Structure 1
Amino acid sequence: MRKVLYLLFSLALIAALTTYALWTADRPAGHYLSDLRINLAVDQGTPADQGNLLGIQPELFPTDYQNADRLHRKLAAYLQVARDQGLLSDKTVVVLPEHIGTWLMISGEKDELYQAGTLKEAMNWLAVSNPLGFIRALVSARGDNRLDDAYLRMKADTMAHDYQALFGGLAKEFGVTLVAGSIVLPEPSVSEGELKVGSGALYNSSLVFGRDGLPLGQPQRQQHPVFGQHDVLGAEHTGSTLVFDTPAGRLGILIGSDSWYPLHYRQLNEQGAQLIAVPAFVLGRNTWNEPWGGYKGLSTPSEVSLKPGEVSEGQAWHRLTLTSRPPISQAKGGVSVFLRGQFWDNGSAGQSFISHDGQHYPDGEARGARLLNLWL
């Protein structure tokens, strides 16, 4: 009798494991509708032969990431509108927002993930749908928050490949220089023209693609992740703020809160940066109008007198982002672009703005995809 029970249990276990394996391998594409509209919100300056800086503030949702073709379709539609309005040329530098590449972690997943009610539930589906990858990532995870580290690390190779294929492909397709927002990867670097990942700490990094679709230089790693990300993200401590040569001029990138530090603008001045791109993201639907929380655990620069709660989050971004504000920044122009949309129960805030001649030219709308253009 015991042998019979053992045999039945073994068969049931094998059947359950086989069913689970088949379930994890099944990745049907669900029904997809997406708003491809985008409006030109800011058009500053006069067209000339010196090129332009074009920020794209997309409005994205989890289903836009169900596969790379869907995300390409949406971003290509935005760029096509810009082309139709005469905003693209071989001297155009396009800037996308922070973490636009990070969400590639959910690409190619099961419908249950996209239909989840909360981010936590969606991440549970991510782990359950990729058991071996998740376990491997959890074993090699670092920091105080090993679970979130594992979620971000488990598909790093695929994310890096998709990031380069998607954004490098868009740069080549539309013949522009493209600042591809940012993506969180373990020790990212470019080797022989290909984005590679390592096995060390996770970094929030931005890569620039030239008109040929190939990376320009190495990724710019974020140097000051905000407080809520300290237990997951590493900080680039080499003090290196990179500058990239583009057809429109020398370009510097300050990711998110890196744009709050006068030191980085001085570093860019020393390298002759003429343009500054700020890919950014603000979590929370109404955060932009709420009191600013300060540097949130980061050291406050001695030059900054602004105190937490003194102004709103949006006002703080305008005060602290010193792009094109001499003498601290000698750049002739810049753009700060925020990721908008809804990822499960996590809303987003942030209103993108152009910087030129010491002034900010904001997009006053809270929702919808937006184009912000600065003629150089």
Structure 2
Amino acid sequence: MRKIFSVSIALLLIAMITGYAIWTGQRPVGHYLSDLRIQLAVSDGQPGERGNLLGIQPELFPTDYQSLEHLHRKLAAYLQQARDQGLLNDKTIVVLPEHIGTWLFARGEKDELYQATTINEAMNWLSVSNPLQFLNALIRAKGSNRLDDAHLRMKARAMAKDYQALFGGLAKEFAVTLVAGSIVLPEPSIDNGQLHIGAGPLYNSSLVFGSDGLPIGQPQRQLYPTFAERNYIQPATPAALNVVDTPAGRLGVLIGSDSWYPRNYAQLNNNGAELIAVPAFVVGHGLWSKPWRGYKSASTPEGVSLKPGETSEGEAWRRLTLTGHAPASTARAGISVFMRGQFWDQGSSGDSFANRQGLTGTDQISANQPGHGARLINLWL
């Protein structure tokens, strides 16, 4: 009797494990119809032979990341509409927002992840649906928040491949230079034109792709992650600011609040940066109009008099982003591009803006006004 009972338990466990394995392997791809609307929010200057900075503030949701085909279709539709409006040429630099690549961890997951109501619930589904990958990543995790590290590390190799295929492909398809927002990866680097990952800490990094679809230079790593992100994202060394050559001029990239630090502009000046792209992401609906909370990663730099609560989040971004404010920055122009949309309970905020010779372009359409759709921010050089 005891032997029969043991055999029954063993068969039940085998059935449960087999069922779980089958369940984790199922990856249904839904036929999600995305909102492809986009409006020209800002257009400054006159078309000429020097090219333009074109920011795309996309409206994105978790379901857009079900497959690369879904995401490509949406971003390509935005670029096609920009082309139809005469905003793309061989000297155009397209800039996308911070973390647009990070959400690629959600590619090819189960429906339960996309239907989750909170990001914590979504991450739980990510772990449960990929148990071996998650456990392997948890063993190799760095930093004090090993759980968040593991969630971003577990699919890093596939994320890096998808990131290059998607954004390099878009740059080639539309014959533009493309600043591909940012993506969190472990020790990313370029070797023989391919994006590779390492086994070390996670970095929030941005890549620039040329019109041939290949990366230009090495990934630009973020210098100042927020306090919360520092638990799992490593800050880059202060000397690690790159400037790359593009058809429109020498380009520097400052990720998020890296654009708040005067020393970064001084370094870009020394490296001959003529243009600056700022991929950015502000978490929280309506935060743009709320009081600024101060520097999120380090003490206030010398020479900056702005205090927390003294102005709104949006005004602080405009005042601290010094593109075009000589002698702090000798760049001719710059653009700051934010995300629009909702990732589970993580809302987004921010009006993208452009600078030229110390002047900030005035929004014709607020990115935070009611309604749906993406925004184009164009600055002719």
Matched, 1:210 2:210: yes
Answer yes or no: is the 8 Å Cα contact 1:352–1:362 preserved in 2.
no
Shift of 1:30: 1.9
Q: Is the 8 A contact 2:95 2:181 kept in 1?
A: yes
Mapped to 2, the partners of 1:70 and 1:293 lie a distance apart of: 36
Identity %: 67
State how far apart, in whole Å, the 1-side matches of 2:80 and 2:42 are. Answer: 17
Once the two structures are superposed, the pairs formed by residues 249-268 of structure 1 within 5 Å of their partners are 249-268=249-268
Alignment partners' CA distance in 2, 1:238 and 1:322: 18
What is aligned with 2:58? 58
Q: Secondary structure at the match of 1:42?
A: strand
Matches within 5 A, 1:1-376: 1-363=1-363, 364-366=366-368, 368-376=373-381
Q: In 2, Cα distance between the equivalents of 1:365 and 1:79? A: 18
User: Does the CA contact (< 8 Å) of 1:204 and 1:222 recur in 2?
Assistant: yes
Given that residues 275 and 334 in structure 2 are in contact (C-alpha distance below 8 angstroms), is that contact kept between their aligned partners in structure 1?
yes
The answer to whether the Cα contact below 8 Å between 2:186 and 2:201 also exists between their aligned partners in 1 is: yes
* Residue-by-residue CA offset, 1:257-309 (whole Å, 9 max, x unaligned): 10000011111111111100000000000111111111134121101111111
- Where does the alignment leave 5 or more consecutive residues of structure 1 unmatched? none
Q: 1:290 & 1:375 partners in 2: Cα distance?
A: 31
The CA distance in 2 between the partners of 1:78 and 1:30, in whole Å, is: 22
CA RMSD of aligned residues (A): 0.8
TM-score by length of 1: 0.99
Q: Is the partner of 1:342 in helix, strand or coil?
A: strand
Q: Cα–Cα, structure 1 residues 362 and 255, in superposed 2: closer, same or farther, change >3 Å?
A: farther
TM-score (norm 2): 0.97
Query: Helix, strand or coil for the counterpart of 2:225?
Result: coil
AA matched with 1:275: L
- Letter paired with 2:19: T
In 2, Cα distance between equivalents of 1:46 and 1:314: 27
CA distance in 2, matches of 1:64, 1:126: 16
Given residue 367 of structure 2, which amino acid in structure 1 is its aligned partner?
E
> How many positions carry a matched residue from both structures?
376
Q: How far does the alpha carbon of each residue in 1:302-343 deviate from its partner, in whole angstroms, 9 at most, with x for none? A: 011111111111111011000111111111111000011001
Contact 1:292–1:308 at 8 Å: present in 2 too?
yes
CA distance in 1, matches of 2:238, 2:290: 33
CA distance in 1, matches of 2:203, 2:337: 20
Query: Given that residues 282 and 350 in structure 2 are in contact (C-alpha distance below 8 angstroms), is that contact kept between their aligned partners in structure 1?
Result: yes
Residue type of the alignment partner of 2:377? L
SS at 1:347 equivalent: strand
Q: Secondary structure at the match of 2:94?
A: strand
**Would the aligned equivalents of 1:223 and 1:239 in 2 still touch at CA under 8 Å?**
no
Q: In 1, distance between residues paired with 2:240 and 2:97? A: 21
- How far did 1:365 drift? 3.2
Q: Retained in 2: the 8 A contact 1:104–1:162?
A: yes
